[in-house]
Amino acid sequence: MAKTSVKLLVSFTVAGVAQSRGSKSIGRKKDGTSFVRDSNRKSGPWMRTVEKAARVAMQAAGKQPTAKPVKLVVTVYRERPKGHFGTGRNAAVLHQRAAAFPQTFPDITKVVRGIEDAMNEVVWVDDAQVTDQDNRKRFVEHETWEAYAAKEIAAGRVPKPHHNLWGKPRVLISVYELPATVAEVYPQEKKQGVLV
């Protein structure tokens, strides 16, 4: 069997706190008609932010929405709670007992659901094309004081001595095109006059 041809279609970052989508609430209007809406009122604005970032990234890459199957890779970076750090002069020092991974709201699958819906007709034709996924939640990474100071000096600013060196929440999204046909997965070889 040949190696599967996987090509990066687009990769981009969406700044901000990822929002979940999926749970619905049912209600009744004053006129008696019923409605269904997403329980998380922040999911709509978040999805529009994802769509806009995806559109900008696709345009910058000169790409159109793909019709091929795709692999979606999503990494949600969340801020650590203040309780993970010391106090006073140790406010930027991470406790050894702090959680290594975020295990609280939002559910990664519900965040990805909103991302998939937001990228319909922008990155792919329809999110049914997502055949493979690799999703994770992480805390934002640590930035050394030296790296922070270098950035501030390069921007013409004076570094603050007690700057919080932990990153900001964001989501990194990468989409890879997968082979669409068997012929793309298996090279055509002739054996005794038969195409395999």
- Higher-pLDDT residue of 125, 2: 125
Other Cβ atoms closer than 10 A to 173: 24
Does position 3 have pLDDT exceeding 70, yes or no?
Answer: no
> Does residue 140 fall inside a structural domain?
yes
In angstroms, the CA 130 to CA 151 distance is 38
Domain-located, residue 194: no
Q: Which residue has the higher pLDDT, 164 or 35?
A: 35
**In this structure, is residue 54 part of a structural domain?**
yes
Q: What SS3 class is residue 104?
A: coil
Pairwise pLDDT comparison (174 vs 81), residue with the higher score:
174
Q: Residue 81 domain-assigned?
A: yes
Q: Cβ distance 118 to 47 under 8 Å?
A: yes
- Residue 70: domain span: 9-22+39-183
* Residue 152 or 104, more confident: 104
The stretch 59-76 carries a mean pLDDT of 97
Q: How many CB atoms lie within 10 A of CB 150?
A: 12
- Domain-embedded: residue 3: no
| Confidence at 1, pLDDT banded by 50, 70, 90 | very low
Average per-residue pLDDT for the chain: 85
d(CA 170, CA 19): 11
Residue 96 confidence (pLDDT): 87
Whether 4 is covered by a domain: the verdict is no
In angstroms, rounded to a whole number, what is the distance separating the alpha carbons of residues 17 and 106? 10
Kindly state the average pLDDT of the residues 8-24.
Answer: 89
CA 98 to chain centre: 24
Q: Percent of the chain beyond pLDDT 70?
A: 85
Residue 2 domain flag: no
pTM score of the predicted model: 0.77
Torsion sign across C-alpha atoms 122, 131, 10, 64? negative
Q: What pLDDT, in 10s, does the model give residues 110-150?
A: 999 999 999 999 999 999 999 999 999 999 876 666 677 78
Into how many domains does the chain fold?
1
CA distance 141 to 148: 13
CA distance 1 to 184: 11
Q: Reduced to 3 states, what is the DSSP secondary structure of residue 145? A: helix
Flag whether pLDDT at 94 surpasses 90: no
Q: Which of 18-27, 33-42, 76-85 has the highest mean pLDDT?
A: 76-85
The predicted pLDDT at position 191 comes to 53
CATH number where 108 lies: 3.30.1330.70
Helix axes 108-118, 43-61, angle to 10 degrees: 50
First to last CA, the chain: 11
Task: Classify residue 191: in a domain, yes or no.
Answer: no
Higher-pLDDT residue of 193, 51: 51
Q: What angle do CA 171, 56, 70 make, to 5 degrees?
A: 65
